Chain A
Amino acid sequence: MAFTNLQVDTETLPRAATLDLHPLPPAHRREILAQGLITTGIFVLPSIIPLLIPAIPSAVRGVLWLVPVLVLLLGTLLTALALVRFRRKGYALRQHDVVFRTGLFWRKTTVLPFDRVQHAEVTQGPLQRRFGLATLKFFTAGGSSVDLAIEGLLADDAERLRETVLERAGHG
């Protein structure tokens, strides 16, 4: 008896798994690339400096070559992973909730009912501003942390989404 209730109900339940999720805009991919370039550059450039100093013995310099190469490889790998993750990200709005999927290895699907949204904010980093992107954050009760953050939305979309969600949440 305890379980059958669920069995019957679930046949007619709206299923979050069958949704078509919106991908994030291509501008977000460019932003990820730019971010990867900048971050890798910041680490690679200083590691080249020792190679240009003639006072360092050439034997040591031969080993030091490895540092920028490794940093470059690591940066490329992380950027590639971020790009793959970008492809997996997706969001959807249903009548009563917002669904967001993310994650490379730990693929996480979050369902957040509009009713539960306490407040929402749109933030824009300097790089995001250049690409016309924004991050939309939702906060619910019972914690100080962000409950759902959708990164890399077009700034207009983020604002519109926020309006829609807050309107349906009954916050006006």
Chain B
Amino acid sequence: MAEPETAPGMEADWRRVSPVAAMDFLVVMVRQGFFQALPALAVAFVSAYQSDSFPFGLVVAGLVFLLLLALAWSVLSYLRFGYRLFPERIEVRKGVIHRETLKLAFDRIQNVSVYEPFYMRPFGMAVVGIDTAGSSGKEIRLPGIELEKARRLRQELVLAVEGEAHVDARPVEADAPDDGRHNARGEVLLRLSRRDVVIAGLTANFMLWAAIAFATVMGSGDTADNVISWLINRLNLMDVVDALREAGGQWLLGLVVLIMVCVAMLILPLISVIGALFRYDGYTLSVDGDRFRCASGLLSRHDNSVRTHKIQAVAWKQNAIALLLGRINLHLRQASAGSGQEAANQLGVKTQRTFQVPSLHPGEAVALTARFLPDCRAGEIRWTGVDRRAFMLVNAGWVLAPFVIALVALSLLVHPVFLFALVLLVALVLVITHRCWKQSGWAVNGDHGMIRQGFIGSSTTLFPLAKVQRIDLVQTPLQARRGLAHLVVHLASHTVTMHWMRHADAERFRDLAIERAERARQAWF
């Protein structure tokens, strides 16, 4: 039923994985179940917490029962799980009740990664993840494979994808030290020290790091929202607020809130740094032929790779703290497979693998960008700004309009002091908008386009013009009168927009990019 076209004799070909895989099935199942059930759990927990008789024994018994069930299920999954390799495809069979056999042709493989979760490292086992180019963005997971074998398998798959399996007979990972920590074939481009990793933690988006720190323990997925709502439910914040207000009035409440905010301001960077240490410890970036690899991780080892021609764009991210410390975080943007956006919105679903090179000095960022995007001279960009009047007028105008109306009304009806507030607000908004305007810019440097946006820090996208998918030029009648336009550049990875360019510039940018894209006639993918 499951594999109708398999001859009985071929059944022996199915390769088993290590029993450790059962653990992996269990972890994946518990993780998914946890995320699915999180809202329900939170509600159940709060209602149980508020009821008088908390059926503690019953709950524990229920949980133990569920865990035993999951354990049995994962053992069954392990018994059923198998994979086999053919010259041009890999097959995986899995499922306990709903049995399925996945067949994946090598030319559909997008990326192969070796991942060492902390519960497998003591056994010297790893998970081989195979990303497909399919629209579902599905990943095939082969857990419980010996590390050496996993690396060899990846090598085989990668070479098979590249269609040169017969050429390369080099020993795999021959130069890897025993601890597997700094395993890197080819040329090492970058190693991050502990100090760099701490800075990476400080300069990253705080909430993102909190989510990553959580995800490192729980698995993966963007769960920050759920965690926060769960925390609010758990702590019964509203009750606390009411109690405080009764005890000491507004001032005590304000004081407590202030203290909490200060504590949060201290704790968030700490969580962020811890998250970075878990994620980026021993970060090594290396290049082997046209393949970049980064390996990192304290408990679980992550090992990602990307090929040069799959890179659609390089993004330089520098937030306020990174600007202060003079560091740049570099993100490689790859083609997003199919409905990546939908997958990202689902809980517990693995989002597109991100390839990041954190906490770089500007010089390093320029040098690495030139490796990722050959001939891209990021060190000598001459930015062209956008139209100041239109930018200020529209951006500040939209923000200010409701406030101006409200505050003028208040100053007329209530007290003239609101006019003072209005002046302060207008000044503040104008300063912020002006700063944003100064950070906006675009440039064309050889074969690469660059677009920058930001407030205190900045986010710069550098992309080869030849990899543009399509370009929109948007113009309103008012813009037409002032000779301005928005340029929308669609890449296979994401979309970047430059607002308020001069129309002539936008047209030239468009025509140049399209010309490059069409003349290249090269595979962008």
**Chain A contacts to B: CB under 8 angstroms:** 1-3, 5-6, 9-10, 13-17, 96-97, 103, 105-113, 115-116, 140-144, 147-148
Contact = CB atoms under 8 A, between A and B. Distances in A.
22 contacts: A1-B380, A2-B380, A3-B382, A13-B511, A13-B515, A14-B515, A16-B511, A17-B507, A106-B475, A107-B475, A107-B476, A108-B472, A109-B474, A110-B471, A110-B472, A110-B473, A111-B514, A116-B470, A140-B469, A142-B469, A142-B492, A143-B341
A90 to B, nearest CB: 14
Given A14-B515, A115-B517, A116-B524, A110 B507 contact: no
A148 to B, nearest CB: 7
Given A2-B446, A5-B446, A144-B340, 8 more contacts: A9-B515, A103-B474, A107-B475, A108-B472, A111-B514, A112-B470, A141-B525, A147-B469
A142 B491 contact: yes
A106 B336 CA distance: 28
A16 B469 contact: no
Contacts of A115: 517-518, 521, 524
A45 to B, nearest CB: 36
A1 B382 CA distance: 9
A2 B443 contact: yes
Contacts of A17: 507
A81 to B, nearest CB: 14
B508 interface: yes
Contacts of B521: 115
Give the 7 A-B residue pairs with the shortest CB-CB distance, closest first. Answer: A142-B492, A144-B339, A96-B518, A112-B470, A141-B492, A2-B382, A13-B511
B338 interface: yes
Main secondary structure of the interface of B (DSSP, over half): mixed
A105 B473 CA distance: 13
Nearest to B382: A2
A123 B362 CA distance: 50
A1 B524 CA distance: 27
Contacts of B475: 106-108
B335 A141 contact: yes
Contacts of B382: 2-3
Given A112-B470, A116-B524, A141-B469, A3 B338 contact: no
For A2, A108, A113, A115, which residue has the most chain B Cβ atoms within 10 angstroms?
A113
Nearest to A138: B470
Contacts of A143: 336, 341, 490
Interface in B468-525: 469-477, 480, 490-494, 507-512, 514-515, 517-518, 521, 524-525
Given A106-B476, A141-B492, A144-B342, A16 B380 contact: no
A116 B382 CA distance: 30
A16 B508 CA distance: 9
B335 A6 contact: no
Contacts of A14: 511, 515
B444 A2 contact: yes
Contacts of B508: 6, 10, 13
Contacts of A96: 518
A110 B491 CA distance: 14
Given A3-B384, A16-B507, A96-B518, A144 B470 contact: no
